[in-house]
Amino acid sequence: MKLTIKQVRKELGITQQVMGCIMGMSQPSIARIESGKRCETKEHLAHLAALMLINRHELDEELFEKMK
């Protein structure tokens, strides 16, 4: 089964804006990927794989650090 950015984002319970922050992209870029108007790159897939390995608590800590 292929996981998409949208599926991972929904599973983590985060917005496109937050997903963009994590992946170093804008919210509109995330929206274009989710709608199929932009293709996922190897870098995007690497970010997805990393996100799938961390739990929500770790994600919250990572976001906190990025937002400083």
Mean pLDDT, the chain, whole residue set: 77
Q: In terms of pTM, does the model score above 0.85?
A: no
- The candidate with the shortest Cα–Cα distance to 19, out of 2, 5, 38, is 5
Distance from C-alpha of 16 to C-alpha of 29, rounded to nearest angstrom: 9
In this structure, how many other beta carbons lie within 10 angstroms of the beta carbon of residue 16?
19
pLDDT, tens digit only, all 68 positions of the chain:
456 778 888 888 889 998 888 888 899 999 998 898 888 777 877 777 777 776 555 656 655 565 55
Domain residue spans of the chain = 5-67
Specify the CATH class of 5-67 in words: mainly alpha
Task: Give CA 3 to chain center in angstroms.
Answer: 12
- The candidate with the shortest Cα–Cα distance to 8, out of 38, 50, 58, is 50
Q: What phi, psi does 49 have (nearest 5°)?
A: -60, -40
